[in-house]
A and B are shown apart, each in its own frame.
Chain A
Amino acid sequence: MRNRLRVMPRGVTGPEVRFGVPLGALAFALLLGAIILAFAGNDPIEAYRTMFDSSLNGWKAQSRTLALATPLILTGLAAAVAFQMRVYNIGGEGQLYLGAIGASWVGLALPASTPTPLMLSAMLIVGALAGACWALLAAIPKAYFNADEIITTLMLNFIALSLMNWLIFGSRSFWRDPRRPVPGGKRLPESAIMPSISGRLHIGIIIAIVAAIFLWWLLRKTSWGFQIRTIGDSPRAARYAGMSVRRKTMAVLALSGALAAIAGVSEVSGVTKGLEPIALTSNIGFTGIIVAVVARSNPLGVVPVSIFLAAIATSGSRLQSIGIDVEVVFLLQGLIFLTVTAGEFFVTNTVSLAHPDTSATGSPPTSEIKAAI
């Protein structure tokens, strides 16, 4: 006999659904990953145990994970704030590069004797401004001509990438260290380097967490944030209520660009210590989009999600010691993105088995997905 699945929209979405569904999706993604690993001839349990040990077991591993989570929190927040307004900033990657270029310029241009707090503040401000301006290149056409921001921000990523590559590999620019045989950036002076907390972990993590709390406050507790979310839910209603959608679009994208750029500042100042294109192009901007989707655009949710994805990423290099390719990291990230996206359906709908004899009576007609169960 053929049963049908009954799909009904949920009336109220409780916290157990909003948190439970993404968590279930994460577990499902890990299960899929295990199946693929097993098919590729690896032992999935050993793989996951190695991943756990190398990323979350002990302070040394944890600090490495937190170091990688730092830029992810910032690019995740960048994507999340735009998602709140249903604006898609896919340009985190490019805005991050601009932040790195701007910050390293300040760090190299100011005298090395500048006190660290002053130096770091200047780098943060200039980096954030550079990223905000880069985002405005997409925001202004969006606000005035409704030019698709997904495409413009993406194109700007590739342009920014080539620009950064040119500064180091293609020219004798201010950023490039002429003494190094292999092209690379000039090393930042000690005063331009974010103080370390432990090993690779630096104070950028504090900046990132403060940014998350600030953004949560901004979006949830201020009228500006309320307006942003209203525009996201219904631009027409927002316009009717007298909100300036145009100005808000530009403000949100600029803020988003600034956040992604701060990730670049944090990387350049705390990790690479100079403009190093290869180290900076590790998909931090794109991963931020996964972070925002998994966190369902909640700024406070971005922090644990970033740590989780960073844990997967840090463990990648350790996997090679047991004969598994690093690429499995990207595979897992993709699977997580996919299952969480699919999970969104279960956040807004309930699915239950409807027996053929009972489906005739009861609630009003709902959409039914055929399934042979």
Chain B
Amino acid sequence: MNDSVVILSIASAIVASTPILFAALGEIITNRSGVMNLGIEGMMLMGAVIGFWAGNTTGSLIVAIIIGGLGGVALALIHAVLAVTLRVDQTVSGLSLVIVGSGFSSFIGTSGEPSLLSARNGVDVTPLFPSALRDLPAIGPILFGHDLVVYLGVIAVITATYVLNRTAVGLALRAVGEDPASADAAGISVTKMRYIATAIGGFGAGAGGAYLTVAIVGTWQNGLTAGIGWIAVALVILAGWRPWLALIGALAFGGLNGLGFTLQLAQVNVPSDFLKMMPFIAAYLVVIAVSASPNRARRLAAPAALAQPYSREAR
């Protein structure tokens, strides 16, 4: 029963959704502070290449994820300097991260001795739970069949929801994203808050990228993320900047990513190029649907000061 197409494809969707979830969750936190960072794709690539290297060197999944996350933070801090301190156009700054991240990751990936391009994955990804739980019918592979990082994703959603909505720090972060002038008057450092939130976003994207190389793909190739970072950007809009909805959305996109695998198992023949298109068509339609939605609350869920640089003098 645990070999059935449905169960295997749900389990694979959960794994495929994890990098998207980490990246989207990080971006939600960044956006909630009023900073738009379109550089997810670049930060993911940075995390992917550095995390893969760290995984190969140490053999540890969790070290790979953390080091990969820090690779994302490094790029995110560049964005923070440009967008928060220098107050340049956040769209342009974010796009520059994509190009820097893809260029730098390719450079790191090829230039190492030996090159990471030919390296085999040195991390053994093991399930967290014992086989007694994993062999339970249906719920075994779906709920207990994954590695530690998948569960960390769920914990991160719970933590993010709690911190954003129930703590003083979360309130301060949201205040900075909604009305930075008032937050500033209330004694909150807008700059500090935005730097921290941008760094957290970088960590999420970098960790997601590292999970992608180390636990899913198992090799490094130039431009390996192939648009997953952009799917995460779209997902943030779709989720209305709420972590719980991002979890559900990530599962949907993970399912679409794994659709080829599912159909292959079910012996349905669809050209692979159309399968590759599916998540992007879905994201395209969803972004339009959200924008056209008559539900104003949904459309206005964006933080009020999103992508607006804050300058004390320009109030």
> Would you give the shortest CB distance from A60 to chain B, in whole angstroms?
27
**Bound Cα distance A289, B107 (Å):** 21
Contact: B291 with A365, CB < 8 Å? no
Smallest CB-CB separation from A292: which chain B residue? B92
Residues of the A chain whose Cβ atoms lie less than 8 Å from the Cβ of B237: 148, 151
> Would you give the shortest CB distance from B147 to chain A, in whole angstroms?
28
Question: Is A328 interfacial (CB-CB < 8 Å)?
Answer: yes
Residues of the A chain whose Cβ atoms lie less than 8 Å from the Cβ of B227: 154, 158
Smallest CB-CB separation from A165: which chain B residue? B273
A367 touching B312 in the complex, CB below 8 Å, given contacts A159-B277, A330-B103 = yes
> Would you give the shortest CB distance from A78 to chain B, in whole angstroms?
15
Question: Is B91 interfacial (CB-CB < 8 Å)?
Answer: yes
> Would you give the shortest CB distance from B142 to chain A, in whole angstroms?
29
A-B contact number at CB 8 A: 145
**Bound Cα distance A54, B103 (Å):** 21
A148 touching B287 in the complex, CB below 8 Å, given contacts A327-B107, A327-B110 = yes
Smallest CB-CB separation from A287: which chain B residue? B99
User: Which of B78, B99, B280 is close to A155, meaning CB atoms less than 8 Å apart?
Assistant: B280
Residues of the A chain whose Cβ atoms lie less than 8 Å from the Cβ of B93: 341
Residues of the A chain whose Cβ atoms lie less than 8 Å from the Cβ of B111: 40, 325, 327
Smallest CB-CB separation from A155: which chain B residue? B284
Smallest CB-CB separation from A138: which chain B residue? B284
A331 touching B87 in the complex, CB below 8 Å, given contacts A158-B280, A170-B272, A290-B99 = no
Contact: A88 with B100, CB < 8 Å? no
> Would you give the shortest CB distance from A310 to chain B, in whole angstroms?
16
The list of the 6 closest CB pairs from A to B, nearest first, reads: A330-B103, A334-B100, A166-B273, A334-B103, A345-B86, A147-B291
Other A-B contacts than A329-B103, A334-B99, A334-B104, 18 sampled, CB-CB below 8 A, are A144-B292, A148-B291, A151-B284, A159-B281, A159-B284, A289-B95, A293-B92, A327-B107, A330-B106, A331-B100, A331-B104, A337-B96, A338-B82, A338-B96, A341-B82, A342-B88, A344-B88, A367-B312
Interface set of B (CB-CB < 8 Å, partner A): 38, 78, 81-82, 85-89, 91-93, 95-97, 99-104, 106-107, 109-111, 222, 226-227, 230, 233-234, 237, 271-274, 276-277, 280-281, 283-284, 287-288, 290-292, 311-313
